[in-house]
Amino acid sequence: MPSDLSVVKGPYFRDLMDQPAALEATLAGLEVSPALSDMASRLRGGEFRRVVLTGMGSSYHALHPLNLELIGSGLTALMEEASELVYHKSRFFDPGTLLIVVSQSGQSAEILRLWSSTRDAPA
């Protein structure tokens, strides 16, 4: 194994190594916003037929407890990787679906493509 690890210490590696600090900053900054409260009320009121949870990598896997909670509450909840939604499951982009996207950086290629895809979806 080469002793020079500069090849692997690029932006992706730095992003991975920054995850603990990003999680701490997120936890420290959590607050209930009016927009989040409104969305929760709309969800409880039956405005959405389903909830689709998505992300990539550890962001995707972190959604598993929420998925179980939503299902346990009687909601139709699905977990799909962002790349699957972008390339194969755009039928979920309709007004009856609440799409919850989680991303540490918000800059991964799949998340950016998903954002672009949902903005072009019919309302």
Tens of pLDDT, residue by residue over 72-99, are 999 999 999 988 888 887 777 888 999 9
The verdict on pTM exceeding 0.75 is: no
Predicted local confidence at residue 23, as pLDDT: 82
What are the φ/ψ torsions at residue 62 (nearest 5 degrees)? Answer: -65, -15
**Residues 6 or more apart in contact with residue 60 via CB below 8 angstroms:** 54, 79, 81, 82, 102
Q: Is the Cβ–Cβ distance between 35 and 84 less than 8 Å?
A: no
Residue 20 located in a structural domain: no
Predicted local confidence at residue 38, as pLDDT: 93
Residue 67 located in a structural domain: yes
Residue 81 located in a structural domain: yes
Q: Is the Cβ–Cβ distance between 63 and 103 less than 8 Å?
A: no
Q: How many domains does the chain have?
A: 1
Helix, strand, coil percent values for the chain (each to nearest 5): 50, 10, 40
Predicted local confidence at residue 119, as pLDDT: 65
Residue 108 located in a structural domain: yes
- Give pLDDT < 70 ranges for the chain: 1-7, 119-123
| 63: containing domain | 32-119
Predicted local confidence at residue 7, as pLDDT: 61
